[in-house]
Structure 1
Amino acid sequence: MPKFKCHCGLIMQLHMEGKEYEFELVQEKNIMKSIEKLEEGNLSINEFIEFMKTNRDVYQCPKCRRLWIEEEKNKFSSYIKE
């Protein structure tokens, strides 16, 4: 079961669906492409999935609110409000 430990010590379970602390960072160009295709009535599920594949996983620790952005597979950068 995949887990992720924040610097504050909280362990987030990554195997569960619908986690409140998991987000997707979507490139603006992919949002615009999706909107254009939707307006044309030409956006299939497969195309939508392709647009979303270039996103990055983001986790926000529920305890300290630190953001973790997956820069590459299993390599994260963390950010916290100053």
Structure 2
Amino acid sequence: MSKLVCRCGYIMAVHTMEEDFLYDLIPQKNMMEIVGAWERIRDNEYPDDLTELYDKDAHEIYICPSCGRILVASNKNPNTFDSYIKED
């Protein structure tokens, strides 16, 4: 189980990978590759090609349920997160 603490102090704990605050950011080019390869890979029992295309360049995103900050896995180190908050 992974945990991420927002700057506001809210703890986001991942238990099931179905939490409402957990997202993946996938580049549009990767999505287009998936759509283009769908006919070829959709009948595979274990679609490793799909997983590989989906995960390539993906970023883990958390949206804090308490303050609304968006935390994005860093390009430099996926174990650190860049924090963004809406400006007025």
Query: Please, what TM-score do these two structures have when normalized by structure 1?
Result: 0.88
In 2, Cα distance between equivalents of 1:48 and 1:3: 27
Percent identity over the alignment is 30
How big is the shift at 1:31? 0.2
Q: Provide the C-alpha distance between the structure 2 equivalents of 1:81 and 1:73, rounded to a whole number of angstroms.
A: 23
Cα RMSD (Å): 1.2
Corresponding residue for residue 81 of structure 1: 86
1:31 alignment partner in structure 2: 31
* Among 42, 50, 54, the residue aligned to 1:52: 54
Distance apart, 1:2 and its partner CA: 2.5
Secondary structure at the aligned position of 1:42 is classed as helix
For 1:49, give the aligned amino acid. Answer: T
The one-letter code of the counterpart of 1:47 is D
Query: Given the alignment of the two structures, is residue 61 of structure 1 paired with residue 59 of structure 2, yes or no?
Result: no
> Which sections of structure 1, spanning at least 5 residues, go unmatched?
none
Q: Which runs of 5+ in 2 are unaligned?
A: none
1:42 aligns with 2:18: no
Q: TM-score, normalised by structure 2?
A: 0.83
| Residue 56 (structure 1) shift | 0.7
